[in-house]
Amino acid sequence: MDGIGQGPKVVFSVFGLDITETVVIGWAIIVAVLLVCLFLTRSLKRIPEKKSQVVAEIFVEFVNNTVETTMGKQWKHFAPYIGTLLVYAVIGALVSLLGLRSMTADFNVTLTWALMTFVLITFYKIKTNGVGGYLKSFGQPIPIMLPLNLLSEVATPLSMAFRMFGNVAGGAVITGLLYGGLSFVSQALHISFCVGPFTLDMAQLFTPAVLSVYFDLFSGCIQAYIFSMLTMVYVSSAAETE
């Protein structure tokens, strides 16, 4: 059962501050994405000649279209934020395919992103209605609703964070349990070999691939998409005047 359901490991600590796996992987992703961006946007032409520019244009077009159809034309300046969120979340979930720990399987990461969305929602609410209008909106439609409105305001970021964390962490736990079970099976069938310090369990070789496609690929991408989708929906509905 070791490793299943445990938090991220501490890699090293600086001045008593623990730097976990998540932080290291997050920075590695930032560097990798930066390098890919530099490579894709090298010597751009008005009419694309290279494949790399076409790939970059397809992605930018996709994000622009999604933001425009979900939030409306006047929100086009919001596309870079959504694109960043999407890329970071998708790659953060997909690193588990490389055998690393998923970045979004850490509650700190998803809670940070959800709090960013919460700040944006509050900012646009105050910008459209003013501070007085924002405070007054908690007493709508009748003042007795105040506690319920406060609760639903707090529940928005919490549910977003828990949804993303639960989905990815759940996949990691189920995959971990499956690996444990398969290692037990192959030891019982005597098809487990020791190669130096590593143990090679034959039953573990191909079976988990199907589950990995669902839990890592599908779940990670869908949750990243839904997270950015919900951010767009919440922010654009926060800026609506009543």
Partner 1 sequence: MEKAIVLGCSAIGAGLAMIAGIGPGIGEGYAVGKTIESIARQPEAKGDCTRTMFIGVAMAESTGIYAFVVALILLFANPFIGKL
Listed ranges 4-12, 23-31, 54-62, 144-152: which one lies at the site for partner 1 (CB under 8 A): 4-12
Q: Is 4 in the site for partner 1 (CB under 8 A)?
A: yes
According to CB under 8 A, which residues from 16 to 45 bind partner 1?
A: none
Q: Which amino acid is at 48?
A: P
Task: Supply φ then ψ for residue 22, to 5 degrees.
Answer: -55, -45
According to CB under 8 A, which residues from 85 to 144 bind partner 1?
A: none
Taking the C-alpha atoms of residue 32 and residue 222, their distance in angstroms, rounded to an integer, is: 22
Binding residue for partner 1, selected from 166, 176, 180, 208, defined by CB under 8 A: 166
Binding residue for partner 1, selected from 28, 33, 60, 173, defined by CB under 8 A: 173
Listed ranges 36-44, 78-86, 128-136, 161-169: which one lies at the site for partner 1 (CB under 8 A): 161-169
Taking the C-alpha atoms of residue 33 and residue 27, their distance in angstroms, rounded to an integer, is: 10
User: CB of residue 15 vs partner 1: minimum separation in angstroms?
Assistant: 27
Q: Is 205 in the site for partner 1 (CB under 8 A)?
A: no
Binding residue for partner 1, selected from 67, 121, 169, 235, defined by CB under 8 A: 169
Binding residue for partner 1, selected from 52, 64, 70, 128, defined by CB under 8 A: 70
Instruction: Classify residue 3 as exposed, middle or buried by CB count within 10 Å of its CB (0-12, 13-18, 19+).
Output: exposed
CB half-sphere exposure, 89, CA atoms < 13 A: 28
Q: Is 226 in the site for partner 1 (CB under 8 A)?
A: yes
Taking the C-alpha atoms of residue 139 and residue 143, their distance in angstroms, rounded to an integer, is: 4
CA R_g for the chain: 22
Q: Would you state the torsion angle of the CA atoms of residues 39, 43, 48, 51, taken in this order, to the nearest 10 degrees? A: -30
- Is the Cβ–Cβ distance between 186 and 203 less than 8 Å? yes
User: CB of residue 159 vs partner 1: minimum separation in angstroms?
Assistant: 5
Binding residue for partner 1, selected from 170, 181, 189, 205, defined by CB under 8 A: 170
Q: Is 167 in the site for partner 1 (CB under 8 A)?
A: yes
Task: Supply φ then ψ for residue 194, to 5 degrees.
Answer: -100, 120
Binding site for partner 1 (CB under 8 A): 4-6, 69-70, 159, 162-163, 165-167, 169-170, 173, 222-223, 225-226, 229-230, 233
